Amino acid sequence: MASVLASDLVFEGNVSGAGDLHIDGTVRGDVKVGRLTVGETGNVEGGVQADIVEVRGRIVGAVVGKQVKLLGTAYVDGDISHEQLSIDVGAYFQGRCLQVRKGEPTPVSHHPQAAPSMGFSAPSYAQPVPAPAPVDAGQLIELKPASA
C-alpha cells in the first residue's frame, strides 16, 4: 500500500524511503523512494529517484529510475536517466534522456534544478561551443556545400 500526499498538502523538504509514494499535492524538495507515482494534481519541484516512476502530473527537476513512464497529462522539465522509458502522446518533456544499461552506474544529471544531495553536478564539456556570429538584417549570407 502506497503512502499518499493528498492534493491539499504542500511538503517542503526531502522525502526518502524504500516504499511506494503517491503524490497528489506539492513537494518542494528531492524525492527518493522505491516506487513513485505523481498524480494529475501532483507537483514535484526537485530531483526524483525511484525504481519505478509514473508521472501524470508535474516534475521540475532530474528524474532517475529503472522504469520511467510519462503519461499523457505529464509535464517533466529535467533530464531523465532510465533503463526503460515510455512517453505517451500528449506528455510534455523537456530535457535529455540518458539510457543506462543494467549493471552500469547511473549517470549524473545535469539539470540546473537538481539538488546536490542526490549526487547531481554541473556538466563538464571538453571544449566550449563558439556562439554564431551576429547577422545584420539585410545582410546577404552565401551558403556553400560542405567539402567531402
Domain ranges of the chain: 3-108
**What is the chain's length?**
148
In this prediction, residue 2 carries a pLDDT of 83
pLDDT score at 130? 53
Please give the chain's pLDDT, 148 residues, in tens.
889 999 999 999 999 999 999 999 999 999 999 999 999 999 999 999 999 999 999 999 999 999 999 999 999 999 999 999 999 999 999 999 999 887 665 554 444 444 434 444 434 444 454 555 555 555 555 555 666 5
User: What local confidence, expressed as pLDDT, does residue 135 receive?
Assistant: 52
Confidence at residue 102, expressed as pLDDT on a 0 to 100 scale: 75
Q: What residues contact residue 147 under an 8 Å CB cut-off, 6+ apart?
A: none
Beta bridge partners of 48: 31, 63
